[in-house]
Amino acid sequence: MYKPFVKHLENELFNRFNLQNRAIPAGLELKVSDRGRNPATIQSWCYQCPQLRKIRYTYIDAGESAQIFNSVIYPNHHYDLPLLGVDFLSFGKIKNLVVLDFQPLFQDDAYQRKYIEPLKFLHAKYPDLAQNLEMKFYDANQYFSKYLLFAKTDAETVATRLLAAFNDYLNLYWQMLDEAEPLQDPEDIARIVKAQKDYDQYSAERDPASGLFSSYFGHEWAERFLYGFLFEDAVPLAATAKK
């Protein structure tokens, strides 16, 4: 269901950037489970280029039971740009949840004006995908923008509206990256390193997918996937506390 979106992202990335493979720890790049009603495959890809230090995307294909496309793009630490976050999920064709955002590293006014206000007109262009839903797992005021696309929708809207929205958000992101001035001051850069790391820690701890990974692939694999790949700069707190 979301495979055309993966293809679109790949085409954009390969056309625009000089990508290099970025290693995925052994055993995490592909996994097949036959625990559920339909066999589930989870596959991930990871790249880097001078402007973007980590580009990762994952596809879960469990046939009719689940189709999920998840991606995060982390800019190089010399840029204070938001992260690009994508989470498109369908369960049993009925429950479709789409989230697309420029995930802000900071919430101050100057940052919002620079990186979030430009999203306003895109957000307004896709009212059917911007439903102002309440968040249950995450805090909407941390690492999310007020102009995120966030919708519970139908397969028809996914098929007819989402690709245009995805393309518009991506294009604006590439434009911002193009126009960004690299930070020079080591203190400014250290602040970005910390903010991106805090994002990983927060996301690893809140990720609503953790249970889903465990149920398909087992708890141990799920923890490795979360802390060893998806949010590799996060430290598993429970594990360190136990030692």
Please report, as ranges, the residues that interact with ligand BLA according to CB under 6 A: 58, 60, 68, 70, 72, 85-87, 89, 97, 99-101, 135-138, 150, 207-209, 212, 230
What is the DSSP track for 164-176? HHHHHHHHHHHHH
| Shortest distance (Å) from residue 32 CB to ligand BLA | 16
The whole-angstrom separation of Cα 122 and Cα 124 is 5
Select 48 or 181, whichever has its Cβ closest to ligand BLA: 48
Select 17 or 91, whichever has its Cβ closest to ligand BLA: 91
Q: What tokens appear for 173 in the block?
A: 């992101």
Q: What tokens appear for 209 in the block?
A: 């997918």
CA angle 12, 40, 64 (to 5 degrees): 85
Select 120 or 188, whichever has its Cβ closest to ligand BLA: 120
| Shortest distance (Å) from residue 86 CB to ligand BLA | 6
| Shortest distance (Å) from residue 150 CB to ligand BLA | 6
Select 7 or 188, whichever has its Cβ closest to ligand BLA: 7
Q: Return the half-sphere exposure (C-beta side, CA atoms, 13 A cut-off) of residue 69.
A: 20
| Shortest distance (Å) from residue 243 CB to ligand BLA | 26
Select 91 or 183, whichever has its Cβ closest to ligand BLA: 91
SS (H, E, C) 104-138: CCCCCHHHHHHHHHHHHHHHHHCHHHECCCCCCCC
Q: What is the dihedral of CA 105, 111, 114, 118, to 10 degrees?
A: 60
| Shortest distance (Å) from residue 216 CB to ligand BLA | 10
The whole-angstrom separation of Cα 190 and Cα 170 is 26
Note whether 28 and 229 are within 8 A (CB).
yes
Select 128 or 189, whichever has its Cβ closest to ligand BLA: 128
Query: What is the end-to-end Cα distance of the chain in Å, rounded?
Result: 43
| Shortest distance (Å) from residue 212 CB to ligand BLA | 5
